[in-house]
Chain A
Amino acid sequence: MMCHKLIFACFLLLGSLSAHAAPLVQTVPLRDMEAWLVTDHSLPLVTVKMAWRGGTASDPDGKAGLSMMLARLMNEGAGELPAQSFQQAMADNAMSLSFSAGRDDVTGTLRCLSKYKHACFKLLRLALTAPRFDDEAVARMKREQLTAILQAQQSPRSLANEALMAMAFDGHPYGQARNGTEESLAAISAADIRTHYQAMMARNNLHLAVVGDIDRAALRRLMRDIFAQLPPSSRLPKAQQATMRNGPISRHIERAGPQTSIVFAQKGLGHKHPLFFADFVMNSILGGSGFSSRLTEQVREARGLAYSVYSGTSNFGQAAMWNGSVASDNATAQQAMDVIRVEMGRIANEPVSDARLAAAKTYLTGNYALRFDSSAKIAEQLLGVQLNDWPIDYFTTRNANINAVTIDDVQRAAQLLTPDRLLVVSVGGTAIALD
């Protein structure tokens, strides 16, 4: 199926919310833990999202890929149930339980139907408290992960992104591919995975978001029976401070085909920065709002240089990055990148118009409600706000913060853009010059 435009997942879970569109979020404390809950009985479904701080940035030296292996193995056997029996029990209860490793956290998602929830919760408890890490499953998941490494090498976008992260965070775990390498995978044993599990999956680094056909009392039982069984404290070493490298640096990876895929980045500003919301609005105007963005206007609509072009902020736990991407014909790739840099300069030098700012605000604020129209999405929002260290009133204050941004604020945020000092990676037929 062909689409009119490509949708980019926002790295941040920043949406926007018309004041009353956010559902009522409750906090549910139990001992040293707290879960965020939205109860909604209209469908017979429960979604539980859980995340532990850690993630691939906590992979020990020489063992890149360890957190990804842990994530792959968390539903591959637990308690008395070896991998196949565990998977069968999940299928028997029509549930899904899967884990993934980001750079700063490992996230698990459980979805189950109300009528099977007792069995689902039992399996969740087993998975979290008694994972097996059997040799068979470890070997099989290693093969799967190795394949993922190879597959990433055949996608121009992932090739470019990996090279960009390596360039931006040279020497920091953020610079390593999340799946690791063939060599680092070979160095990972079942014992390493178990040790990593024991160190990471604790209570003081746990975040919980629960949505659907479940009330406070039932959630407290779930927390008591399952999450209270985890050790109190994470034993991972403290996350390493990351410093992003300055450009200009341009790296090219030659690849056959008519098109060059380009990613670019520079330091961004983190969400504790006073201009954070101004930056968010600025990015929306520049490159983050699809057809309303200047990059789409100038690169795609006016010149036909690309199908997709994007820019925005990616926040990691230890660093903030501003980044973007475009893919253009080998003959026009340099021109596309030049237009992008001109637009970066223009938004810094010329104040945006009242109308443009107003449109960005109504887009960002009005759009927020669309992130709360299903229980899966609500759970994602509840977890995302926690992982960004935002307070629970974020859901209701965010739109006011966006509306308070002025034309000057936008320009100040834009002046932090450095079109002459970008990190750039191109994959395809054209190397990108930055002078």
Chain B
Amino acid sequence: MPIKRKIAALFLAFALAACEGAPDGPQIETAALDNGLEIIVIPDYRADVVTHMLWYRVGSADEPKGKSGIAHFFEHLMFRGTQNIPSGEFSKTVARLGGQDNAFTSYDYTAYFQRIAKDKLGQMMQMEAERMQKLIIQPDIVAIERDVILEEHSMRVDGRPSSLLAEQMRKRLHQGTAYEVPVIGWRTEIERLNADDAQRFYRRYYAPDNAVLVVAGAVSLSEVRALAQTHYGPLRPSGTPRTPRVVAQDLRVADYMQPEILVDARVRQNSWRRYYRLPQYQRANKRQFAAADVLAEILSGGHTGRLYQKLVVEKKLAVSAGAYSDSSRLDNGEFVVYATPAPQTDFADLAQAIEAEIDALKNLMADDDELRRAKRQLVSDLVYARDSQQSMANIFGRAAMLGLRPDEVLGWADEIENVSAEDVRQAAQELLVARHSVTGHLTGRVNAGENES
């Protein structure tokens, strides 16, 4: 409440670092098996538990046309039975052993994980290896699971007007590329997914050379490597890396002046947001993305950011406001600016005030104090992240999915420290371009503050 720290939307969300003040940085170790499985180990001996994650280089953005939702659907089916583990028994076994498990799917990756006592790590690997190549896809179970996913869709999307708006905005923002389709898929396409679709998807993507093993916790690389060799070592590589995607080079968005407006009687509190499409992250432009993180912090950091100061405290046009840079994507990232308008504020006035703050960052240098504060906060976040072995496993796993090595993650604090006021100004000019954006209005009333349209 009071402080709502921004969500981990920084580039590499909370990379971490051997930064000033920390006794040592984390000692991340890596290895690879002959079949192509990469291994990342993040030792943390504070508790006798481990987080075991298997990340696959496949996400919703890799789905065949017309089969939206299959990546996420398939993730559910991974819990529904293998040659030796009956449907539903995977999670039950983990629980019986005192652990927790879950999985998640995003645009660019799918990950499965268990958190459990260290001495169960080998058994987790055995089970995870089993479902990498010995899954049984039964049509009757597929039909039930499809209903589960449609319920999930109802809960996350149909029941939440803000999700419906986000889907419509992203459809415009990323038009013509894979990110125009939501991760969960379009309802009408989910309804038609079947066992054959799942089988094809499984064969194509679930192989050791398309996966990265991440283990955080009370283990060393040599222990992990030996166990991985036993359990994952015998698996056959597919020899088919994922197909490169189409990445938008021209970032322009059609009709960017026209806001996406969602009027929904269930909405009680209006909200405003804007998504800017970012160029693809590449090593060559990492300075620009580090500057984008600092820029977002200057705009958004807690109650001291410019948006909160101007819109909420001074002008009282909004009740909350913020921004974040989400560039941890394989294709085009997003820079997001959002605000909750005060009851009497119309969307046009709100947008104008927000644009004034963005323009100020494009035209004037941030002052030294502001820059120092933003950088200190970002670098400190990296230290806070080290408190959670699960966050650590997530950070390095996600980075690996984007093709980044642990040392590049660890070096991010230095990239942040090196950002200058001029870098921030340039990033604002180059990244926050109106014609690369889509603006969204969520409202419960037909005529609520719609002056533009």
Contact = CB atoms under 8 A, between A and B. Distances in A.
B152 interface: yes
Contacts of B244: none
A17 to B, nearest CB: 10
B105 interface: yes
A2 B117 contact: no
B349 interface: no
Contact of A329 (B22, B151, B302): B151
Contacts of B44: 373
Contacts, number: 236
B249 to A, nearest CB: 27
Interface in A81-125: 83-84, 87-88, 90-92, 94, 96-100, 111, 113-115
A23 B304 CA distance: 37
B48 A21 contact: yes
A146 B383 CA distance: 35
Interface stretch (B88-96, B286-294, B405-413): B88-96
Nearest to A4: B103
Contacts of B99: 366-367, 370
Given A2-B183, A367-B98, A373 B383 contact: no
Given A44-B383, A84-B304, A84-B313, A366 B98 contact: yes
B contact face: mostly helix, strand, loop, or mixed: mixed
B389 interface: yes
Contacts of A94: 376-377, 379-381
B188 interface: no
Contact of A259 (B72, B87, B159): B159
Contact of A1 (B105, B155, B268): B105
A70 B99 CA distance: 39
Given A43-B383, A113-B380, A369-B47, A304 B269 contact: no
B355 interface: no
Interface stretch (A148-156, A226-234, A418-426): A148-156
A147 B340 contact: yes
A308 B95 CA distance: 17
Contact of A100 (B1, B95, B269): B1
Interface in A53-75: 68, 71-75
A291 B389 contact: no
A373 B46 contact: yes
Contacts of A144: 319-320
Nearest to A309: B151
Nearest to B90: A291
Nearest to B267: A154
A366 B380 CA distance: 33
A39 interface: no
A155 B143 CA distance: 29
Given A43-B383, A307-B155, A374-B388, A255 B21 contact: no
Nearest to B118: A369
Given A76-B2, A113-B380, A374 B95 contact: no
Interface stretch (A238-246, A266-274, A346-354, A357-365): A357-365
Given A96-B3, A366-B99, 18 more contacts: A1-B105, A23-B47, A84-B309, A90-B302, A94-B379, A94-B380, A94-B381, A113-B383, A147-B340, A258-B154, A290-B95, A303-B147, A306-B151, A307-B152, A362-B96, A366-B117, A370-B49, A370-B100
13 contacts: A2-B104, A42-B46, A87-B304, A100-B1, A289-B95, A290-B91, A291-B88, A304-B148, A329-B150, A329-B151, A367-B100, A370-B100, A374-B46
Interface of A: 1-5, 7, 16, 18, 20-21, 23, 40, 42-45, 68, 71-76, 83-84, 87-88, 90-92, 94, 96-100, 111, 113-115, 136, 140, 143-144, 146-147, 150-151, 153-156, 255-259, 261, 289-292, 297, 300-308, 327-329, 359, 362-363, 365-367, 369-370, 372-376, 428
Interface of B: 1-3, 5, 21-23, 44-49, 72, 75-76, 79, 87-88, 91-92, 95-100, 102-106, 115-117, 143-152, 154-156, 158-161, 183-184, 217, 265-269, 301-304, 309, 312-313, 316, 319-320, 340, 342, 373, 376-377, 379-381, 383-384, 386-390
